[in-house]
A and B are shown apart, each in its own frame.
Chain A
Amino acid sequence: MWIVYKTIVIKEILRFSRIWVQTIFPSIITTLLYLLIFGGLMGERIGLMQGVNYVHFIIPGVILMTVITNSYTNTMFALFLAKFNHSIEEILVSPAPYWIVLLGYISSGVARGFVVGMGVYLTASFFMDFEIYSVSITLVIFLLTAVLFSLAGFINAVFAKSFSDVYVVPNFVLMPMTYLGGMFYSVEILPEFWQSVSLLNPIYYMIDSFRLGFLGVSDADLTTSLSMLLTTIAILFVVSLYLLKKGFNIKN
């Protein structure tokens, strides 16, 4: 069991390491741009947000966005490519239990989120001083977010039949949800109607709690965020496992 899990995780980690230029650099460059624009150029004018320096305020959101996109795209491509070149058959002919296979894919997504998220964090801390308010909250929120989006990427790959299907969700769903999820602002500054709309966006809770871990400031309640994350993970896990067992779009 452990061997099967290890095999999948190592294989997938090697896969994204082989293309590390594509996986790590874009996120680092984005971070540098954010630091330059919001830190150097506009930060002064915006002033404080929730009592925090603006550039500090956005960094947790930038890191979490990196984690979200990397975890998501990692599992999505891992499974999509395995379907595309049929190497998924190597696993399907073997007695590897499906839940182990799923855990393997999730773990590699989490690993990718961690590596790139860490890269962004280190880049940011190179240019400014950071003192993490609570390492444990930060890590827990990171982990849950990475697991959640690895699962979501997995489900996306199950349904994807062509390369264009692979880009729809990241660009038309994830990006807007992250940008509108309070990455750049506290929802306090929004009109009341948009505040309540934001509360329906799950990414809002993740960014908010992640910021709590980092800076000690937040809008929402940590328990609400945690239970929301855990419930979503549980649902997505069951759905993924079901799809994998049925061989949806794979064994028909």
Chain B
Amino acid sequence: MKALTIKTLTKVYANNFHALKGINLSVEEGDFFALLGSNGAGKTTAIGIICGLLNKTAGDIWVLGLNHSTQTNDVKRLIGLMPQEFNFDMFDCITEILNNQAGYYGISRSKAKIQTKILLKKMHLWDKRNDAAGSLSGGMKRRLMLARALVHQPKILILDEPTAGADVEIRRFIWAYLKELNQLGMTIILTTHYLEEAESLCRNIAILNAGKVVEQTSMKKLLAKVSHQILILETTSILPETIQQMQFECTRLDDYTLQVALGQNINITDMLRALSQQGISIKHVRNAQNRLETLFINLTS
């Protein structure tokens, strides 16, 4: 079954800004899905509509076969949201925030307390359980929002930039936890600006640009589209002034640096062999640019 289907979803804000111009999307149940797009592309707007925070202007949404407009409350029960911006009452204490959130879903206090304890321990926030939300660090607040999204045990977890502003350790922790949840069968949809995050976690992606879906495909296919790889090579000795043409594009950047573009017809060993035949020996190789970033820029500009 489809976890989420969106048909010609449109959003025009009160100031007449067209934030979504009829987007279509579909996410399989159990998928790990990334919604990518530059700032202002409309990701948060789309998520806001799915989660009941914003009114749509037009279009249809189905969540696990339920109609978003007519079975709104059943749909809400299925979804957990970790929003982009902090949105708790900063004076409330952490346990209260989670218990209350469970309360809004109609979960009794005694059951909520059990769930809250499990989640706070999992998020390494149990020691802080009596502190006010406002006193947490940014990374802790993010983990609190993740815990809050999970109190009612949703089937679909939507995360709007879950690791923005989180340090490497917390980012790895969140990634590992999301993978675990996905393996247990939860459908996960996230937005991110870190392409590395999408690459290492997600199976399918959609790219949103200026309110339109410009690409929806699998991560594998997307990566295969990256036709060539740009490498920067440092040489052990001064390069000759002119370099002979080879099977690949090669540019002399300075006395010790070369830039090469490798197509799919040639691998690195062949490239290095070709260079050494010209008497060029290589000390160091690095990627000029993340391949995905290059592709992303091509698709959105």
Which residues of A are in contact with B by a Cβ distance under 8 Å? Answer: 1, 3-4, 6-8, 11, 14-15, 18, 81-82, 85-87, 89-97, 246-247, 251-252
The answer to whether B53 touches A251, judged by C-beta atoms less than 8 angstroms apart, is yes
Which residue of B13, B97, B106 contacts A4 across the interface (Cβ within 8 Å)?
A: B106
Output the least CB separation between A18 and chain B (Å).
Answer: 7
Contact with A along B62-99 (1 / 0, CB 8 A): 00000000001110110101010111111110001101
Query: B5: CB under 8 A from chain A?
Result: no
Query: B55: CB under 8 A from chain A?
Result: yes
Q: Could you say which residues of chain B place their CB within 8 Å of the CB of A97? A: 73
Q: What 5 A-B pairs come out closest when comparing CB atoms? A: A7-B103, A86-B87, A95-B73, A94-B104, A95-B76
The answer to whether A7 touches B73, judged by C-beta atoms less than 8 angstroms apart, is no
Query: B105: CB under 8 A from chain A?
Result: yes
Output the least CB separation between A194 and chain B (Å).
Answer: 43
The answer to whether A1 touches B100, judged by C-beta atoms less than 8 angstroms apart, is no
Q: Could you say which residues of chain B place their CB within 8 Å of the CB of A91? A: 104
Whose C-beta in chain A lies nearest to the C-beta of B108? A3
Whose C-beta in chain A lies nearest to the C-beta of B151? A94
The answer to whether A6 touches B103, judged by C-beta atoms less than 8 angstroms apart, is yes
Q: Could you say which residues of chain A place their CB within 8 Å of the CB of B105? A: 94-96
Question: Please, how many angstroms separate the alpha-carbon atoms of A93 and B85 in the complex?
Answer: 15
Question: Please, how many angstroms separate the alpha-carbon atoms of A8 and B100 in the complex?
Answer: 8
Output the least CB separation between B165 and chain A (Å).
Answer: 17
For chains A and B in complex, what number of residue pairs have CB atoms within 8 angstroms? 84
The answer to whether B106 touches A90, judged by C-beta atoms less than 8 angstroms apart, is no
Question: Please, how many angstroms separate the alpha-carbon atoms of A3 and B109 in the complex?
Answer: 8
Output the least CB separation between B133 and chain A (Å).
Answer: 9
Whose C-beta in chain B lies nearest to the C-beta of A1? B106
Output the least CB separation between A25 and chain B (Å).
Answer: 20
Contact with A along B220-246 (1 / 0, CB 8 A): 000000000000000000000000000
The answer to whether A4 touches B87, judged by C-beta atoms less than 8 angstroms apart, is no
The answer to whether B106 touches A3, judged by C-beta atoms less than 8 angstroms apart, is yes
Residue with the greatest number of chain B CB neighbours at <10 A, chosen from A1, A11, A14: A11
Q: Could you say which residues of chain B place their CB within 8 Å of the CB of A94? A: 76, 101, 104-105, 152
Known: A15-B89, A251-B54. 9 other contacts (CB 8 A): A11-B100, A82-B89, A90-B87, A90-B100, A94-B76, A94-B104, A95-B73, A96-B105, A247-B55
The answer to whether A252 touches B55, judged by C-beta atoms less than 8 angstroms apart, is yes
The answer to whether A252 touches B13, judged by C-beta atoms less than 8 angstroms apart, is yes
Q: Could you say which residues of chain A place their CB within 8 Å of the CB of B14? A: 252
Query: B52: CB under 8 A from chain A?
Result: yes
Question: Please, how many angstroms separate the alpha-carbon atoms of A90 and B81 in the complex?
Answer: 9
Output the least CB separation between A131 and chain B (Å).
Answer: 42
Q: Could you say which residues of chain A place their CB within 8 Å of the CB of B72? A: 95
Output the least CB separation between B18 and chain A (Å).
Answer: 14
Contacts A247-B55, A252-B14; A4 near B77 (Cβ below 8 A): no
Contacts A82-B89, A95-B77, A95-B106; A7 near B100 (Cβ below 8 A): yes
Whose C-beta in chain B lies nearest to the C-beta of A87? B89
Question: Please, how many angstroms separate the alpha-carbon atoms of A92 and B87 in the complex?
Answer: 12
Whose C-beta in chain A lies nearest to the C-beta of B51? A93
Query: B262: CB under 8 A from chain A?
Result: no
The answer to whether B96 touches A11, judged by C-beta atoms less than 8 angstroms apart, is yes
Question: Please, how many angstroms separate the alpha-carbon atoms of A189 and B91 in the complex?
Answer: 50
Question: Please, how many angstroms separate the alpha-carbon atoms of A147 and B240 in the complex?
Answer: 88
The answer to whether B89 touches A81, judged by C-beta atoms less than 8 angstroms apart, is yes
The answer to whether A18 touches B91, judged by C-beta atoms less than 8 angstroms apart, is yes
Can you sample 10 A-B contacts with CB below 8 Å? A3-B109, A7-B103, A11-B100, A15-B91, A87-B88, A89-B83, A89-B87, A92-B51, A95-B73, A97-B73
The answer to whether B103 touches A4, judged by C-beta atoms less than 8 angstroms apart, is yes
The answer to whether A251 touches B74, judged by C-beta atoms less than 8 angstroms apart, is no
Question: Please, how many angstroms separate the alpha-carbon atoms of A86 and B84 in the complex?
Answer: 12
Q: Could you say which residues of chain A place their CB within 8 Å of the CB of B51? A: 92-93
The answer to whether A90 touches B85, judged by C-beta atoms less than 8 angstroms apart, is no
Question: Please, how many angstroms separate the alpha-carbon atoms of A93 and B52 in the complex?
Answer: 6
Output the least CB separation between B19 and chain A (Å).
Answer: 11
Query: B107: CB under 8 A from chain A?
Result: yes
Residues of chain B from 134 to 155 with CB closer than 8 A to chain A in the complex: 148, 152
Contact with A along B1-32 (1 / 0, CB 8 A): 00000000000011000000000000000000
Contacts A85-B89, A86-B85, A252-B13; A93 near B103 (Cβ below 8 A): no
Q: Could you say which residues of chain B place their CB within 8 Å of the CB of A11? A: 92, 96, 100
